Chain A
Amino acid sequence: MYPLSKGDLMTHTLHRRGKKKDFRKDIVMLIMSSKGINTEGSAKWKKEFFDVVMENGAINIGEGVKLFLPSDNLEKDKKFYIYLRDQITDRSNPMAVFDDPEKAANSLKKLRESGNPLSFVLSGDTEISRGILRRYSVNPSATELRVIKEHDHDGIYGKTSLLPEEDVLEIHSLCGHGMVPFSLIRRVMTDVKLGRISPEEGSKILTRPCSCGVFNKVRAEEVLARNKVKIPNY
């Protein structure tokens, strides 16, 4: 059973954390229609998006309006993809996560060839995104960036003493709605560190609370593997 509930979902990928090199494995692509402009009849283009990103090796996908229990293995779980694809309507805002810029670039190439007229967003390292677009002579229309102040917590303002360790924050930021609790991340990190579970198993556990489809389990697995968090006594 895949469906969780109906919703009205907008995800947020701007505040993903990590080093620049980590973003080579973290490219989020969204397709959107705009209310009152090109929403009517957009479902066929959104379904095409789904087909193309799946053909090109997306590691996570979401339909963008309804929430779903994410698949543990998208590559093998064709039923999940077919189910999710069937849910796409004009209101959907499908999204996909790639762990390789080439996969994102190949997807865009295909979408461009078919003349897909909707709006797109590439979320990730903007240098990578611009590079991909340049290949196809596409100029970015607009870009959103985080604002960072020197000496602050890398773009987090206010009472930063409330924040957990950076590794915990990094995994937390991979969910667009902040649905992966700090306490769960710490628990999984501890269990990985003690060898009770593998980083891959840990990553699967952390993927589940984020059901919009933008959690990057490859990056989560890498953070777990380099786990530096002090083990608490419990």
Chain B
Amino acid sequence: MKIDPDKCTGCGNCIYYCPMDAIYIEKLNNKKVAIINDDECVECGLCLRMMNLDVKIPILKREVCPTKAFYQNDLTYPRILRQTFSDPTLIKEATEVAGRGTEEVKTNNVTHRVKGDEVGFNIELGRPGTGTRLSEIEKVTVSLAGIGVEFEPNNPLTSLMTDTKRGLLRDEVKNEKVLSAIIEFKTTLNKVGDILNTISKVKVNTVFVIGVYSVCDNDGFPLVQKYVKENGFETSFNGKVNFGLVPT
């Protein structure tokens, strides 16, 4: 993402519309202008979308960018990966990665992606709101690979691995920063403890959240809940419940 310094008036409204706080105001040739810190920008495109809305924001008294100074420059590999993982409006076929992730729990009633003794994991790094370098994600994938996890093949992160058995990412992508990315895999319920104990101890310079899913018992409770608790962890009271309204 770029800002045209000739159009920018340095009003600073756009600063509030950068999830990575990557926009700042600086004096350039005696004129205040907004600058994007390229290293921190994750190419999510929010600034541009908000500019294109053309809507006055009450607290700012005007539009996000009244002079239309933002523009999307051409992105090449590996920088384009930032956009791939961070911009939800992107059509992913156009990028260097394969797969979009699975439908995970959402359609399990017809796909049977996880069966009776299985558990699905979604570990999202960079969420909430901090973003992450891909090198931080590799720390987690390497730890998981070390205990025999097999990563979901239809997932963008997996396609960036040079060695899925060791969880290693391509060297040239490691410094790229993304808003968030999800490590996806499934395994058997008896491995829940090993996995949780491993990932909760990995030291990373970002934050992450863990989602687990399984089929439900006859009372409607997911089988995985018991395995999580047995290993000293708790589950949230909120969650995503999948079902069909007609028998399949």
Contacts and interface: CB of A to CB of B under 8 A. Distances in A.
A141 B109 contact: yes
B75 to A, nearest CB: 16
Contacts of A35: 103
Contact of A120 (B16, B92, B225, B244): B244
Interface stretch (A80-88, A122-130, A222-230): A122-130
Interface residues of A, number: 91
A74 interface: no
If over half of B's interface residues share one DSSP class (helix, strand or loop), that class is named, otherwise mixed; here it is: mixed
A218 interface: no
A162 B206 contact: yes
B15 A145 contact: no
B243 A150 contact: no
Nearest to B88: A177
23 contacts: A7-B89, A13-B240, A37-B111, A117-B244, A119-B108, A122-B240, A122-B243, A123-B239, A126-B241, A130-B220, A140-B220, A144-B240, A144-B242, A145-B238, A146-B236, A147-B196, A148-B234, A178-B129, A179-B44, A180-B19, A181-B19, A183-B15, A196-B59
Contacts of A11: 88
B100 A181 contact: no
Nearest to A33: B107
Contacts of B248: 117
Contacts of A184: 16-17
A233 interface: no
Nearest to A204: B58
Contacts of A108: 245
B130 A145 contact: no
A123 B104 CA distance: 14
B222 A143 contact: yes
Interface string A98-133: 000000000010011001111111111111011001
B117 interface: no
Given A147-B228, A148-B234, A178-B19, A197 B58 contact: yes
B206 A158 contact: yes
Given A8-B90, A67-B89, A123-B239, A144 B246 contact: no
